[in-house]
Structure 1
Amino acid sequence: MSDDQDRVISDLMGRLGIYAQGIAMALMALPVPMSLPKGDQGKGLLRDFLPAVVRAYEIADEQPIPVEQRAIACTALLHWITAAELTVAYAVSGDQYRADAALLAMMTGEPMLADLIEWLVDPEGWEPPQD
């Protein structure tokens, strides 16, 4: 692996780790809390946290919250899953488009996660994003 590829992987994993912390916080704040393993950076993030997020994605639509928030939660989780898998694919192949796609998935999912967290903190004051 080149030094540049190592740096890109490190940057992607760091961002995935921060996104993972937000996911863990949001899922614990749901009406039916979901506990996830620690989202430590590195192999634990992919070995332990990724399968837990996949499972959370599979059952998130069972939460007793409005349909719009369920959709936002599922979408934020799906973007994290996609980013994690693309990061692994980049580490294996070195194809730059995979690193770019992983970053794009995170950049798309993080604001959705922020919207979910905002709603969880104050469901009465939340307004859907204006497009």
Structure 2
Amino acid sequence: MSDSDDITTERLMERLSVYARGISMALSSLPIPIELPHGDGVSLIKDFMPAVIRAYEIVDEQPIPEEQQAVACTALLHWVAAAELVIAFAVSTAQHRADGALLNMMCGEPLLADLIEWLVDPEGGEHPQD
């Protein structure tokens, strides 16, 4: 792998990590909190990704409106797809994989921000705890 590829992988992993922190915040703020692995020894790929996939599978059981369930599922799926493409890029260095990872993050991050805004805005939407 060239220095340029190493830098690309590092930048993608940094952005993926920031996105992961947002996911952790959002899921822990749900009416039925979903806690994801966190801490210094947690690997985004080996530990965090399987937990996000599991959250994706069960988030539709949350007592929140269907629209917010769909937003959550989509934001999680974009993160998983981005993570898989980062791994694929690190192995193959095919530029389309790095581009695809970035595209997935660019699509998923605003959805995650919308979900977080909905979860923390007491005036926005109908919350089950209201």
TM-score of the superposed pair, with normalisation by structure 2: 0.92
Q: Larger RCO: Structure 1 or Structure 2 (Cα < 8 Å, ≥ 6 residues apart)?
A: 2
Q: How far apart in 2 are the matches of 1:82 and 1:21?
A: 16
Query: Which residue identity does 2:5 align to in structure 1?
Result: Q
Q: Partner residue of 1:125?
A: 124
Count of equivalent residues? 125
SS of equivalent to 2:116: helix
Query: Which residue identity does 1:60 align to in structure 2?
Result: V
Query: Which residue identity does 1:117 align to in structure 2?
Result: I
Give the superposition deviation at 1:55. Answer: 0.2
Q: How far apart in 2 are the matches of 1:96 and 1:40?
A: 30
Same amino acid, percent of matched pairs: 66
Give the superposition deviation at 1:122. Answer: 1.1
SS of equivalent to 1:37: coil
What are structure 2's unaligned runs of at least 5 residues? 126-130
SS of equivalent to 1:31: coil
TM-score of the superposed pair, with normalisation by structure 1: 0.91
Stretches of 4+ aligned residues off by more than 3 angstroms: none
Q: How far apart in 1 are the matches of 2:95 and 2:31?
A: 40
Give the RMSD, CA atoms, in angstroms: 1.5
What are structure 1's unaligned runs of at least 5 residues? 127-131
